[in-house]
Structure 1
């Protein structure tokens, strides 16, 4: 049987998006696995190999020798295949969370990774989860407007909609700080956001502004709900008010975000 040909969509000169076959209410079209390669490099870096789906993993491995696997955060739709993919490629796996690392050290905020012909900066962005991390790549020319570089955002920023704060692992205070940090990366020109789900976004700073405005609006809605319901209102009660139109399929996620907002407002997180 012939090996599957490498697939995916060129997002920038250095990055190709390979969509995993796991669509759903929480994953949108599916998890975006990223394959990174610098000029002239025979090897690649794979970020978030995703679900344990044989054809998907074969496509990722088919881009060339995998020098390194990086992980943006611990959620299963990004990490389920880590052990299998590490066996397939004999590549070390690195993440903020040491429990996810295989044959490699935990990532450190501010470190620079030199692999596959690229210099990649590690940017810790806790909030969605405690171990969330982004990866900043250098400018790579005019393709998709990435002359000022790109940032792999995992689930800290999505290509469509907004992400959840996965309480109790995630927390709103650190998330707001992470958005501010990412926004600062969006200068002197537009930086492309390579998201964990959904399409590529052309302007990281602009989407951070939109996310911060959305979070401020949600906090105002929670405050209003507490005025209506009382300060001791439960998460479920506040969710009923603030997320009244939310589909039942994402109710658990809505409640997680409300818990995070209540902890933030009550000064407990």
Structure 2
């Protein structure tokens, strides 16, 4: 995290390349890092907004109580200025990504385009990432579908795993890929069953590795300027976690909290619940492969 400047503040606009700007939402947490990054695409009169972020109740950017995105819609509108928002896109519908789409649409008339709606119970530990039940897109993009505006073209890249409805967005003109929560430089993505699926997540990582994107702009943390190298490392990391799990089960039946303690030594206590969800995702995947089995609350190698 040392390469992320201390000077970045919520509500400020930062230019990353001619067609790409970023506005940081004021919702930092152990799961969102410095906050949700809303990406603005376009340099002319037509702007696409990617991941408008959390919704709020009217506090201003900079207010010390503003920890859930209040004022962020106003910051987006300030950054857009006199240009017209022609598309509001969401990578997925966790509560730190999509709720601001509705108020932004109400203020601008721009359509909500992108991932499919998804509303399920989130039994994981991430209170900031419960699903947004009110998300209502005007158009759902399928894998490979495109939208365009003045000087830009965006293509949907389906990447299920973190959530079943997760999309990345490729900016055709520059080779950039907006990766949402699927690939981030500062942290691995939480894969939390029942909607999170480790098998799908690994397939989506391989899908990105097979592409030739120049740079990744995630929803949290710094840009990734070595995409394929990072993704290769992430695939290796997940395979290492799988080997760790199987190694522990070779010693006997295990419950997930004890596995987390062994596998994530020194982990912040606030993140142990999320780590447990990812361990569960690996176990569910291994169970589908017939390699492990659940006996009560303990997991063991399949007979």
Name the TM tier (shorter chain): 0.7 to 0.9
The corresponding residue for 1:153 is: 179
The Cα offsets for residues 4-36 of structure 1, whole Å up to 9 and x where unpaired, read as xx8421122211111111101000011111000
The corresponding residue for 1:3 is: none
Distance 1:113 1:223 in 2: 44
- 2:39–2:49 CA contact under 8 A, matched in 1: yes
The corresponding residue for 1:146 is: none
Distance 2:256 2:270 in 1: 17
Distance 1:155 1:25 in 2: 14
Matched, 1:59 2:85: no
Would you tell me which structure has more helix in proportion to its own residues? Answer: 1
Distance 2:137 2:91 in 1: 17
Q: Cα distance, 1:101 vs. partner?
A: 5.4
Distance 1:224 1:239 in 2: 13
- 1:123–1:136 CA contact under 8 A, matched in 2: yes
- Find 1:225's aligned residue among 248, 264, 276: 248
The corresponding residue for 1:28 is: 33
| 3-state SS of 2:52 partner | coil
The Cα offsets for residues 158-215 of structure 1, whole Å up to 9 and x where unpaired, read as 13121111222111111111111111112xxx61000110001102111111111111
Which ranges in structure 1 are unaligned for 5 or more consecutive residues?
Answer: 1-5, 141-148
Q: Cα distance, 1:54 vs. partner?
A: 4.2
**Structure 1 residues 194 and 183, CA gap change in structure 2 (3 angstroms):** same
The corresponding residue for 1:183 is: 209
- 1:16–1:36 CA contact under 8 A, matched in 2: yes
| 3-state SS of 2:21 partner | strand
Matched, 1:118 2:152: yes
| 3-state SS of 2:154 partner | strand
- Find 1:92's aligned residue among 87, 91, 111: 111
The corresponding residue for 1:143 is: none
Distance 2:187 2:105 in 1: 32
- 1:110–1:122 CA contact under 8 A, matched in 2: yes
| 3-state SS of 1:98 partner | coil
Distance 2:272 2:238 in 1: 18
- 1:108–1:122 CA contact under 8 A, matched in 2: yes
- Find 2:20's aligned residue among 12, 15, 19: 15
Matched, 1:255 2:276: yes
The Cα offsets for residues 239-265 of structure 1, whole Å up to 9 and x where unpaired, read as 232224221111221111011000111
RMSD between aligned residues: 1.9
